[in-house]
Amino acid sequence: MIRKSLIFFFTFVFSLFSLFSGEKSNYDYVNPFIGTGGYGHTFPGAVVPFGMIQVSPDTALKEVGNSYPWCAGYQYSDKTILGFSHTHFSGTGHSDLGDILLMPISGKLLMEPGEENSPETGYRSRFSHKSEFAQPGYYRVKLSDYDIDVELTATKRVAFHHYSFNKKSPSYVILDLIHSIYYFKEKNVWSYLRVLNSNLVVGYRQTTGWAKNRKIFFAVEFSRPFSDYGYKRYDENFYYFRSKGKLIKLKNKREAHEIYGKKLRVFFDFSGIKELYVKVAISGVDIEGALKNLRKEIPDWDFERVRAEAKKAWENELNKIHVKGSEKNKEIFYTALYHLMIAPMLYQDIDRRYRGIDHQIHKAENFTNYTTFSLWDTFRAAHPLYIILYRERIGDFVNSMLKHYEQSPEGMLPIWPFHANETWCMIGYHSAAVIAEAYLKGIKEFDYEKALDSMVSTATNKNYGGLRYYEKYGYIPVDKEVEAASKTLEYGYDDYAIALMARKMGKKDIFKRFIKRAFFYKNIFDKNTGFMRAKKSDGKFREPFDPLRANYGGDYTEGNAWQYTWHVLQDPEGLIRLMGGSKKFVKKLDKLFKIKGDEKKYGSVEDMSGFIGQYVQGNEPSHHIAYLYNYAGYPWKTQKKINLIMKRMFDNTPFGIPGNEDCGQMSAWYIFSALGFYPVSPVENIYIIGKPLFKEAAINLGKDKEFNIIAKNLSEKNIYIKKAYLNGKRLKRAYITHHELMKGGTLTFIMSSKPNKKWASDKKHLPPSAYSRFRAYVKD
Amino acid sequence: MIRKSLIFFFTFVFSLFSLFSGEKSNYDYVNPFIGTGGYGHTFPGAVVPFGMIQVSPDTALKEVGNSYPWCAGYQYSDKTILGFSHTHFSGTGHSDLGDILLMPISGKLLMEPGEENSPETGYRSRFSHKSEFAQPGYYRVKLSDYDIDVELTATKRVAFHHYSFNKKSPSYVILDLIHSIYYFKEKNVWSYLRVLNSNLVVGYRQTTGWAKNRKIFFAVEFSRPFSDYGYKRYDENFYYFRSKGKLIKLKNKREAHEIYGKKLRVFFDFSGIKELYVKVAISGVDIEGALKNLRKEIPDWDFERVRAEAKKAWENELNKIHVKGSEKNKEIFYTALYHLMIAPMLYQDIDRRYRGIDHQIHKAENFTNYTTFSLWDTFRAAHPLYIILYRERIGDFVNSMLKHYEQSPEGMLPIWPFHANETWCMIGYHSAAVIAEAYLKGIKEFDYEKALDSMVSTATNKNYGGLRYYEKYGYIPVDKEVEAASKTLEYGYDDYAIALMARKMGKKDIFKRFIKRAFFYKNIFDKNTGFMRAKKSDGKFREPFDPLRANYGGDYTEGNAWQYTWHVLQDPEGLIRLMGGSKKFVKKLDKLFKIKGDEKKYGSVEDMSGFIGQYVQGNEPSHHIAYLYNYAGYPWKTQKKINLIMKRMFDNTPFGIPGNEDCGQMSAWYIFSALGFYPVSPVENIYIIGKPLFKEAAINLGKDKEFNIIAKNLSEKNIYIKKAYLNGKRLKRAYITHHELMKGGTLTFIMSSKPNKKWASDKKHLPPSAYSRFRAYVKD
């Protein structure tokens, strides 16, 4: 008895302490509104880490062409909410989803969304950010037109809504199966709804769009029975079942329990009910899967328990890094860590069934299936960060990619897949890089032989991205294939990844073939202009050329020559040599951060934002560039630039992300950079040191291991590294290895207001890359 | 060695004997072209008994509104063939299907079907009936525009095509995924094709239409690899992959192995190949199901073996009845027996999975799942005939209906279902009658309790067909519900069926409720006009009234008062009383066969054809009428009418069926009538004697039992029954019982040119019906 009381006493004291000390947990620092304005394209709704269901308010229904700002369904500057849909992308620059919109309303029954500027014309409602509150796994808002309070939380596959109807008036829940993110006229291929009873409806929705061939199944359960329901079908003479059982226009009464068509909206009448809870489960497999998910993940109606469990799931993940620093920086940092864990998304039912890329139903044996791999973005820093923080999930990610390969009609690894569809978005075959990195960093939970086969198969597919010309010419010829310069450059890094994996596996032929390809970047470097350029099949560079010109379908991908010329992740050393040595290289790099573009002349390009000169923090091709100074022996310049970028480009406001968050990549860049290092070439197993943001940081590596980063004397002015120690021993190089990081230890920086230009400037201390390691395999 | 030779010798001699004797088997008498002209709506293609796949030439692509003659895809008078699609209805008056059209062509690559009158504008080809040949399970034609010979055969789930390209020129196979029977603009919801390799493609097709929500999956395997392929997508800017690898317009090369869209046509290049075999498997479940069906049902390329197996399957079924008679009558008879076995169709994969009416995938345990129940037609005589001939399938049919009930969102038994859809076509709840009949005739393989529950649930569904008013008013009020007179009449028979089953099961309450409903027909009989009429909820008959007026959506269903007044299957006796006794009844019945309609005044009605006066042999409401004379003690008049109808209305030509064949019902009418009896009220377990067509007939009842019908002195003139014997004993009644039939025996008729007006005219020998059995339960 005494013991118990004591424990209770200590627990109580400890709680009081936390409460009164005002100490905020990592969880408390997360602000899901960061990035919801401008180009961040994040959403504020409720999701658990890597969760399949992502329920969030949508503030607009926009047609493709006018929908870029609404990639995540929500824009902070909007004044109305349309409702709460269940699938979203976090931070993408192209979009889709927004499935199964639910909206509680009261008063007049309105089945159409209505106009933004006169929300009373439809079911949408005004709202104020003052009434909004969001934490990981929880979202709350007041729909002010109706005086309805909405709370949302979620498990992995089930969203939990709570509506409080505060007015006494007829009240309804609208289920809009037309609503979509990136809407267009032919988006809705088919939808189906079945009323199982007055508390439970099920159905599916089939759409085309970014995913050409997508199906999502759902089950919606209400805590109270609806007294009536009805629907409008917009693709035919509509049928309409008006409230109170009075039929207005219903083609066939017998069809009332089963509703289908291309464009459907349904209402459920909850008049007289004050508190309503709604559970919405989704499945990529079938209705039965959605029902199972619903029943097993939330068997009761305990909203607070589900909310607390979501919070706990987030705390477990967010506590993997602890930092000490300003409140603002901690808010940005933990929000970045939060955004890191929204994609990839789980994509299998609770019974392990999932829809494969072959549109067949499979059972995931010995792995968990994930979808939404924004690989062109995330191979850079997000996947490297997952390997450090969420090592236990890497096998699942890789196996999901290998299953995609097995099921792919083209025999290819994923490019940009989601919900059992390949979108073919962006360029490269970066899943090869992600898989090679997992192998090289010792992830054991996948079949290496099959993986290497899949990488070679993908990297040699004659129908993909000009690959049929690649080895013949030694580059992608721009007269045969668009975005040829970017492709040649990006393929090179993926080829390097394949080569390194093949080498370690003892596959000499594969190694030799791909290490050659890893140096193809040299073939498109134009010594005259000093830029990487698109070359034609006749061996001549394409004219006219302007290094400031960026365009889609041209020579580069979401960028221009100024940004892409540095895109030799696997071999900055070789690039420096091409440019005539370190000094010339650094001079050009300095210029990058100064030279101005000409928007009037060239127009702006979607996805390019966050400029410092022609450096574009808002888009991925620039992400490694500030770290390249290290390769030339000028780490102090990296420190200066990183300090500048972090300060100027990130903020703890809705507009605090400089460009698309891109499924974790932008956040991973920030987290790495804030910790003080960055993986320029993830397969090289090193991290290039930049400039730490926090005085203290600790990465929990599991099994009681920690890696600590201490920045002594760090201040607004003391942004330069004077000295560095690894586990108490002087560190003379400006990088650390993956092995050093993962075994735990302490990296100590002594900061100063003056650059230490000598530190890590010796040739022998420069980071390794392809040239120093493998130049023997190519002609110089 | 000696033994073997002997066996060989005998076999040889026996074969020679059959050959030279010229004796034709029942199989040889079947002419699949009967009914392919006019309103028969049958198709000549290849199918096995009750087979899931039904491959047949389609001769037109017609829009709804103009498509009635092409319900089965084929019209005998057409001059061109569009190709060979894999799903058809046999004899229906509404339609759908026509999935996965394949067409071999040569010369110019044409992707559109082209015009009927100038077939060279498209892939369609002229053909001549001279080059056509069909037998059960086999079809052959020459496509004369291309000089291509086509042969078709089938297993249960796989169609087998054989193409001989006789010309040396480029040759292709077109796969048209737009083609449909009952086409309309929005018919194609989605389609998907995946090229697995140069011999094998898979995919699915999703349509709306009669079935609102239908999916069919397929696998197509070619015996030789195609050298190239390409497609046009008609719902977007089309993509086109031209022959010889030259791309003309292809939006995204990477999508080449996976093709999707609403409207797709694909070609495969087989230039240089002379003999090509193609296997096409379908599945209602998924692609995997189609592939399994394909691989397991036809693992090789032996067309002749598959054809021989199809023939054997038909012979087994066709040999269940043997008749002796004229060549022409045998041709009509065995073709009718053939048509009896095309629906219901098998609807499950070889692994027992099937798509339920809930659009979920189920596994059929302990039964085999069937679809396509044209119940408004087939409850009359087709299901009764199945119980006699194919007793082993009845449990499967009933269990398929019970599963439908379990999976139905309305808790209803099937009305007119196919391919996992309820069409709600026609009226009544006749599956209740079919199930009750199975129970009353001793079929054991289903759950009686569940069956009775399902019947009551269906017959009391408030949202169906005016049932919410039925018991309150004692009829369906026409101001509340269309086709009210027909509904009141047809429900009565179904109610009688439910009552009989409930009674035998000892469910007194259910019996009492439904036996009352079985007499509701009295409530709509108008003594003044002598007709069954639509009555309003105020108790008055609707005016104006004209017994010759037939219209849809009015008082009657595909009929007028002249036809529907007799529709008291369960109680001809009660009807006779209502009409004022036998004489008046017979007089009115005589008039029915004489009175002329006025097409100018009333227009013609689809589905009404084959008139004798106002008797309509071409549509089901008349089917029992000629047998009603027996109930009044005038069997000789039945004999005369049946003789007339059989002679005038049926022929061994493509135009030899007087109206829609209707999934076996028209054929069942013919077969029963030809044998000499007919089940006016199938649940009464009696067969009303008519007039035999053959001098000898034998029904094989299995287990060495046979029922023989012998008509002595039968001739063109001797059409009347003078005397009858059952197993040598004088038969004084003009009906036999189901029990008498099923235990085997011999029914002998002595025929004469003069009617025996006394035979079976006594009151005590009249057939039983509701009035004599249950009049105690209702007020007179």
Q: Is A744 exposed, middle or buried (0-12, 13-18, 19+ CB in 10 A)?
A: middle
* Partner-chain contact B463 A253, CB within 8 Å: yes
Closest partner CB to B409 (pick from A186, A195, A252): A195
Give the C-alpha separation, A729 to A746, whole Å.
10
Give the C-alpha separation, B462 to B464, whole Å.
6
What are the tens digits of pLDDT across the range A466-476? 999 999 999 99
Residue A749 in tokens: 């920086």
Reduced to 3 states, what is the DSSP secondary structure of residue B265?
strand
Q: What is the pLDDT of residue B593?
A: 96
Report the half-sphere exposure of A598 (CA within 13 A, side-chain side).
7
Q: Is the pLDDT of residue A235 over 90?
A: no
Report chain A residues whose CB lies below 8 A from the CB of B353: none
Q: How far is CA A450 from CA A398, A412, A455, in A?
A: 11, 12, 9
Question: Where are the extended beta strands (E) located within B379-528?
Answer: 417-418, 421-422, 525-526
Residue A556 in tokens: 């580069």
**Overall average pLDDT of the B440-460 stretch:** 98
Give the C-alpha separation, B505 to B527, whole Å.
37
Backbone angles phi, psi at A432, to 5 degrees: -60, -40
**Segment (H or E) for B697:** strand B696-702
Q: What is the pLDDT of residue A417?
A: 97
* Partner-chain contact A257 B464, CB within 8 Å: no
**How many percent of chain A have pLDDT more than 90?**
87
Report chain B residues whose CB lies below 8 A from the CB of A195: 409
Q: How far is CA B689 from CA A109, B36, B767, in A?
A: 63, 30, 10
What are the tens digits of pLDDT across the range B398-433? 999 999 999 998 899 999 999 999 999 999 999 999
Please, which residues have CB within 8 angstroms of residue B754's CB and are 6 or more apart in sequence?
B720, B722
B41: left (phi over 0), alpha (psi -120 to 50) or beta: left
Amino acid identity at B277? Y
Closest partner CB to B258 (pick from A195, A262, A409): A409
What are the tens digits of pLDDT across the range A241-278? 543 444 444 444 444 678 889 999 999 999 999 999 99
Q: What is the pLDDT of residue B778?
A: 82
| B192 reaches A (C-beta below 8 A) | yes
Which of A250, A359, A487 should we substitute to test contact with B (largest number of B Cβ atoms within 10 Å)?
A359
Cis ω for the linkage preceding B344 (within 30 of 0): yes
What are the tens digits of pLDDT across the range B339-367? 999 999 999 999 999 999 998 999 999 99
Report chain B residues whose CB lies below 8 A from the CB of A360: 286-288
Report chain B residues whose CB lies below 8 A from the CB of A194: 358-359, 409
**Overall average pLDDT of the A577-588 stretch:** 98
* Partner-chain contact B192 A206, CB within 8 Å: no
Backbone Cα Rg of chain B: 27
* Partner-chain contact B287 A253, CB within 8 Å: no
What are the tens digits of pLDDT across the range A150-185? 999 999 999 999 999 999 899 999 999 999 999 999
Backbone angles phi, psi at A150, to 5 degrees: -120, 130
Report the half-sphere exposure of A141 (CA within 13 A, side-chain side).
29
Q: Is B763 exposed, middle or buried (0-12, 13-18, 19+ CB in 10 A)?
A: exposed
Backbone angles phi, psi at A217, to 5 degrees: -105, 150
Amino acid identity at A755? P
Reduced to 3 states, what is the DSSP secondary structure of residue A379?
coil
Beta strands at B353-355 and B361-363: parallel, antiparallel or unpaired:
antiparallel
B228: confidence class by pLDDT, cuts 50, 70, 90: confident
Which of A190, A421, A487 should we substitute to test contact with B (largest number of B Cβ atoms within 10 Å)?
A190
Reduced to 3 states, what is the DSSP secondary structure of residue A224?
coil
Question: Where are the extended beta strands (E) located within A234-320?
Answer: 240-241, 247-249, 258-261, 264-269, 275-283
Closest partner CB to A260 (pick from B204, B213, B260): B213
Q: How many CB atoms lie within 10 A of CB A756?
A: 18
Which string of b and e fits B253-285 if b means at least 16 CB within 10 Å?
Answer: bbbbbbbbbbbbbbbbbbbebeebbbbbbbbbb
What are the tens digits of pLDDT across the range B556-574? 999 999 999 999 999 999 9
Q: Is the pLDDT of residue B461 over 70?
A: yes
Report chain A residues whose CB lies below 8 A from the CB of B410: 254, 257-258
Reduced to 3 states, what is the DSSP secondary structure of residue B702?
strand
> How near does any CA of chain B get to the CA of A676, in Å?
40
Give the C-alpha separation, A603 to A623, whole Å.
22
Q: Of chain B residues 282-341, which have a CB less than 8 A from chain A?
A: 286-288
Reduced to 3 states, what is the DSSP secondary structure of residue B69?
helix
| A206 reaches B (C-beta below 8 A) | yes
**Overall average pLDDT of the B367-393 stretch:** 98
* Partner-chain contact A196 B409, CB within 8 Å: yes
Q: Is the pLDDT of residue B684 over 50?
A: yes
B713: left (phi over 0), alpha (psi -120 to 50) or beta: left
* Partner-chain contact A359 B463, CB within 8 Å: no
**Overall average pLDDT of the B187-191 stretch:** 96
What are the tens digits of pLDDT across the range B503-558? 999 999 999 999 999 999 999 999 999 999 999 999 999 999 999 987 655 799 99
Q: Of chain B residues 167-186, which have a CB less than 8 A from chain A?
A: 186
Instruction: Indicate the angle between helix axes A484-504 and A448-459, nearest 10 degrees.
Output: 150
Q: Is the pLDDT of residue B9 over 80?
A: no
- Sign of the alpha-carbon dihedral angle for A671, A677, A680, A681: negative
| A198 reaches B (C-beta below 8 A) | no
Amino acid identity at B197? N
Give the C-alpha separation, A537 to B738, whole Å.
85
Q: What is the pLDDT of residue B240?
A: 55
B595: confidence class by pLDDT, cuts 50, 70, 90: very high
Question: Where are the extended beta strands (E) located within A683-741?
Answer: 686-689, 696-702, 705-712, 720-726, 729-730, 735-737
What are the tens digits of pLDDT across the range A699-744? 999 888 999 999 999 999 999 999 999 999 999 999 999 999 999 9
**Overall average pLDDT of the A482-507 stretch:** 97
Closest partner CB to A360 (pick from B286, B359, B360): B286
Give the C-alpha separation, A206 to A190, whole Å.
5
* Partner-chain contact A359 B189, CB within 8 Å: no
Please, which residues have CB within 8 angstroms of residue A691's CB and are 6 or more apart in sequence?
A638, A639, A640, A642, A643, A646, A673, A676, A719, A720, A721
What are the tens digits of pLDDT across the range A511-544? 999 999 999 999 999 999 999 999 999 999 999 9
> How near does any CA of chain A get to the CA of B402, in Å?
18
Give the C-alpha separation, B733 to B755, whole Å.
15
Q: What is the pLDDT of residue A237?
A: 58
Closest partner CB to B463 (pick from A256, A287, A409): A256
Q: What is the pLDDT of residue B610?
A: 83
Scanning every residue of chain B, which has its alpha carbon at the shortest distance from the alpha carbon of A362? B288
Cis ω for the linkage preceding A344 (within 30 of 0): yes
Scanning every residue of chain B, which has its alpha carbon at the shortest distance from the alpha carbon of A201? B409
Q: Is the pLDDT of residue A10 over 90?
A: no
| A235 reaches B (C-beta below 8 A) | yes
What are the tens digits of pLDDT across the range B621-637? 999 999 999 999 999 99
> How near does any CA of chain A get to the CA of B766, in Å?
41
Scanning every residue of chain B, which has its alpha carbon at the shortest distance from the alpha carbon of A208? B261
Distance of CA A741 to the CA centre of its chain: 24
A592 in Cβ contact with A613 (< 8 Å): yes
Q: How far is CA B332 from CA A482, B14, B655, B689, in A?
A: 67, 28, 11, 21
* Partner-chain contact B254 A196, CB within 8 Å: no
Q: What is the pLDDT of residue B27?
A: 98
- Give the CA-trace dihedral at B43, B284, B343, B493, to 10 degrees: -130
Q: Where do we find the tokens 């693709």?
A: A235
Give one DSSP letter per residue of B363-387, joined into a string. Answer: E--SS--EE---HHHHTTTHHHHHH
Q: Is the pLDDT of residue A16 over 50?
A: no
* Partner-chain contact A190 B189, CB within 8 Å: yes
The alpha helices in A579-664, defined as continuous H runs, are 582-592, 599-602, 635-649
| B423 reaches A (C-beta below 8 A) | no
What helix, strand, coil percent values describe chain B, rounded to 5? 35, 25, 45
B636 in Cβ contact with B759 (< 8 Å): yes
What are the tens digits of pLDDT across the range B146-163? 999 999 999 999 999 999
A725 in Cβ contact with A738 (< 8 Å): no
Give the C-alpha separation, A216 to A231, whole Å.
20
Q: What is the pLDDT of residue A513?
A: 98
Scanning every residue of chain A, which has its alpha carbon at the shortest distance from the alpha carbon of B207? A190
Closest partner CB to A213 (pick from B195, B208, B260): B260
Mean per-residue pLDDT over chain A, rounded: 93
Report chain A residues whose CB lies below 8 A from the CB of B424: 252, 254-255
| A200 reaches B (C-beta below 8 A) | no
Fill in the DSSP letter of residue A552. Answer: T
Which string of b and e fits A512-535 if b means at least 16 CB within 10 Å?
Answer: ebbbbbbbbbbebbbeeebbbbbb
Q: Is the pLDDT of residue A204 over 90?
A: yes
Mean per-residue pLDDT over chain B, rounded: 93
Closest partner CB to A286 (pick from B204, B361, B465): B361
Residue B623 in tokens: 């089917």
Q: What is the pLDDT of residue B231?
A: 85
Q: How far is CA B711 from CA A511, B41, B253, B673, B707, in A?
A: 90, 33, 72, 13, 13
* Partner-chain contact A194 B409, CB within 8 Å: yes
ipTM surpassing 0.90 = no
* Partner-chain contact B463 A213, CB within 8 Å: no
Q: Is the pLDDT of residue B6 over 60?
A: no
Amino acid identity at A277? Y
Higher pLDDT, B303 or A601: B303
